[in-house]
Chain A
């Protein structure tokens, strides 16, 4: 048994798991999607030696630190450690939220939407931000702040729905 066996939600029976965002997203627009259950692995070491499986997405934060978004965190951890890269299951550590709209993005962060993925300020907390096609984005943040993030995103969406400035 791995000494870090206790860190992986993937080792729990599925009915035992819940998402930190699920209460906040009740009734939310469909453009918001909960990515919290997706596998996330923190990597430390020579990232070039990480063996990626199909569909894996490696986000490099520093030359020796990265996040791997993967469908199978246990396999990814085994593979990485076998290649000499320390790997930790952070699936439970990070909440994840997909959202749409560059204006929404710009109201949540001062990061350059053209320079993603990166880590930085998001809704006054730290997050990892990824851009998908068009104006679709993903944010990964400490799960304990997940409900707060959903509250903020819904609030900003409400503001955007409210129209332009009173001066205009």
Chain B
């Protein structure tokens, strides 16, 4: 039953809203929270506690405590005391076996105590080890904070918005509003953030009010993420004013968690905001000055208040008793009072967490018996009661004597007994004890339990609260949905200019680093391999990194970056290059074409462009050469036209001369193909006569279409891998790793050790002085089985190396591959074994290319 309309009530009695609690259909009003609507429908138990499954009711009505956490429309852990009611909402209890009023797991509360002392999970259920999966399943079943619906999918859309504010005021109480208005007189850009729905329609001149919304933390650069439900506002503020006020503190006494035990603000909100009588007969227990005020509020709402206890007068024994989890009577120093509502006030603690996160110091104020913020960094201010202003010292006991479970932390079901035991076990630091007992680690994040637990530690250790200190305040200040933190799922995908052509041709696309590339265009990659060997294939190699190095000292720069020579490379010619690190390890590879005396065109691996660009720029800055490095990867598409018919096919599309004499192997030429200017490189990664055409990416689809119309058949990454393996060509990063160097990877011919210097020279000299333990070599399998990449190589029954690449080659007529072998097993023809599907299969070392070892086809 609702009270008569209260001044300023939030509900609209003319607009009823229907919702469900389990199988029950209930009704509330627009403006209700789900919690207030449930309360109006007679519900008093909202949840079951984390460990003991004790019934819990509304405690704070402010979204701080865990007592009202329920699953709403499939979303777990919604604090229904602050969640607006909406038509059709489906509310279900969580962490319950049975019903809220009859939870079978509450047996833990009755009988589990001796078996579940503090830290029991560190000591019990760890032996025998093989039983852990069973224990784990059991523990996950009986504890926890709701369940995610794995099949719910993306039930909500979350967005992130970046905003800027001159002044950001956090907290819309009296002090916060005054600070915002004062800041607004100096100009625009003032934003006020507040959790309360009451402020949603408040107009403050010159102030943008964002409510209901929660500031989650304060990071470096005055970054404040604000949770407004489905949009995370990331504010960058020039000045932050924190006016978060205080958090009411509970009292620590046996039975302090019973349904019907409330903080003053909870009772006040039920009465004022939702016109609900929080109980029929109440007792008020206050350790501060608020007892008369609370009693008056209750009486005005028609609640009988037979007893008001000012705990400052020195009560020692205090306990509450209930029936089926509902409070029924309270005993203070032997005097019993029957009641169904206990309003407790343990004082108010400044909500300093945001200020602490911002770098403010927190110290214990002995006169107020609370922690207060001090020494705030520049640009961070605090106003109102968060500074300690207006707080009256509370004089309650650290914990009251009595019988029954006495909770310090209701989130984690940590009792005074648990804390005392942890101290006895040596956990006398609040930070250590926090980790052992989990006090302050629950959903309230210490809002309701940090101060009481510190009081208790100080009391038990006979020391001062200032000595105990506080736990670290970390963001988020309030619970936040992970979806909101994650925002939209954005996965930057690099697509070549031919991406949609590949899809239209039915290519199976695969990730290759950040790129999407065609794996193959049909079910049988070997068909595409055959085409390249026998006729004409074309592959999109636009993903290759492409750099221009230009300037009077470009040659000197490359000469020092690469182990081999580039200063003597003639314009119009190409040379293969491998980049090595300072440690002489292989970093990347590609080709270098000299386009003019002062201009080189460098290609890198598909995933190496950015790293190579940064590497070049770094060394160029160190050495100070007059050379510019420009990454032109995206500017140019690249196609490799390969196969014995490639010259004829290309010749039909260009007027430039392509004969073997005019356009030799490793030549780079400017030609025009079907109206498109191209840089054509005669190189042969796939081992056949071929031309790599580099040209403006915007012309890619046109040129691709022309080549296909002229009979070229597309081939994908998988056929290319087979083709290159037939030639024994290495893929950096697949066949090499971070320890591979040019000598061990079978390229001792590449570094020119007589050069004055190059990156990695010193290390290579060192490598040359010692015998490499492993060498990268080719091999041929004795049986027709393809080992997995990474498969173990076995010599005399012992692991001796690994396979890096292996494919079945129709051209070679065998399964071929590359792998790392011990030096003494790396001679051509040496037999070793490879583990394939748990059996050992014989293989023999092969040196050089498996196919066309003289390279006649690609040089033709």
A residues contacting B by CB (< 8 A) are 1, 3-9, 11-13, 15-20, 23, 36-37, 42, 44, 86, 88-94, 103, 106-107, 109-112, 114, 123-125, 142-148, 152, 155-156, 159, 162, 164-168
Contact = CB atoms under 8 A, between A and B. Distances in A.
A164 B229 CA distance: 9
A102 B628 CA distance: 36
B161 A107 contact: yes
Given A8-B677, A18-B698, A144 B164 contact: no
A144 to B, nearest CB: 4
B698 A5 contact: no
B630 A42 contact: yes
Contacts of A159: 157, 159, 488
A12 B634 contact: no
A124 B696 contact: no
24 contacts: A3-B670, A5-B677, A6-B694, A7-B636, A12-B677, A17-B698, A18-B698, A18-B699, A44-B628, A88-B630, A89-B635, A90-B635, A92-B636, A106-B162, A107-B162, A114-B164, A142-B494, A144-B496, A156-B488, A159-B157, A164-B231, A167-B84, A167-B197, A167-B230
A152 B677 contact: no
Nearest to B82: A167
A144 B542 CA distance: 10
A70 B231 CA distance: 38
A148 B702 contact: no
Contacts of B697: 20, 92-93, 143-144
B161 A9 contact: no
B493 A148 contact: yes
B691 to A, nearest CB: 13
A155 B696 contact: no
Contacts of B696: 6-9, 11-12, 17, 91-92
A123 B10 CA distance: 40
B229 A167 contact: yes
B762 to A, nearest CB: 32
A42 B490 CA distance: 28
Given A16-B703, A90-B632, A167-B84, A6 B494 contact: no
Nearest to A146: B495
B698 A92 contact: yes
Given A16-B703, A37-B698, A106-B161, A93 B635 contact: yes
Nearest to A103: B161
A112 B373 CA distance: 32
Most buried by A among B197, B234, B236, B630: B630
A167 B495 CA distance: 38
Given A16-B699, A17-B698, A109 B229 contact: no
Q: Which 10 A-B pairs have the closest CB atoms?
A: A165-B229, A93-B635, A167-B229, A110-B162, A16-B702, A9-B696, A92-B696, A13-B675, A6-B679, A3-B595
Contact of A143 (B236, B493, B634): B634
B675 A86 contact: no
Interface string B492-517: 11111101100000000000000100
Contacts, number: 171
Nearest to A15: B702
A143 B696 CA distance: 11
B500 A23 contact: yes
A166 B677 contact: no
A5 B515 CA distance: 27
A41 to B, nearest CB: 11
A12 B157 contact: no
A12 B698 contact: yes
Nearest to A149: B492
A1 B595 CA distance: 12
A47 to B, nearest CB: 13
Most buried by A among B234, B515, B695: B695
B677 A11 contact: yes
A4 B679 CA distance: 9
Interface string B773-787: 000000000000000
B570 interface: no
B676 interface: yes
Interface of B: 84, 86, 156-157, 159-164, 197, 200, 212-213, 228-231, 234, 236, 488, 490-497, 499-500, 515, 542, 548, 550-551, 595-596, 599, 628, 630, 632-636, 670, 674-679, 694-703
A107 B159 contact: yes
Contacts of A103: 161
Nearest to B702: A16
A112 to B, nearest CB: 6
Nearest to B493: A148
A5 B488 contact: no
Contacts of B490: 123-124, 152
Contacts of B212: 167-168
B230 A166 contact: yes
A91 to B, nearest CB: 7
B597 to A, nearest CB: 10
Contacts of A165: 228-231
B635 A92 contact: yes
B494 A144 contact: yes
A83 B213 CA distance: 56
A162 B231 CA distance: 12
B229 A166 contact: yes
A124 B492 contact: yes
A72 B433 CA distance: 70
A71 B632 CA distance: 20
Contacts of A166: 86, 156, 229-230
B787 to A, nearest CB: 34
Contact of A88 (B495, B548, B695): B548
A23 to B, nearest CB: 6
Contacts of A3: 595-596, 599, 670
Contacts of B677: 5-6, 8, 11-12
A104 to B, nearest CB: 10
Contacts of B634: 92-94, 142-144
B198 to A, nearest CB: 13
A16 B695 CA distance: 12
Contacts of B515: 144
Contacts of A44: 628, 630
Given A19-B698, A92-B696, A156-B159, A145 B676 contact: no
B85 to A, nearest CB: 12
A23 B503 CA distance: 13
A42 B629 CA distance: 12
Given A17-B698, A18-B698, A86 B628 contact: yes
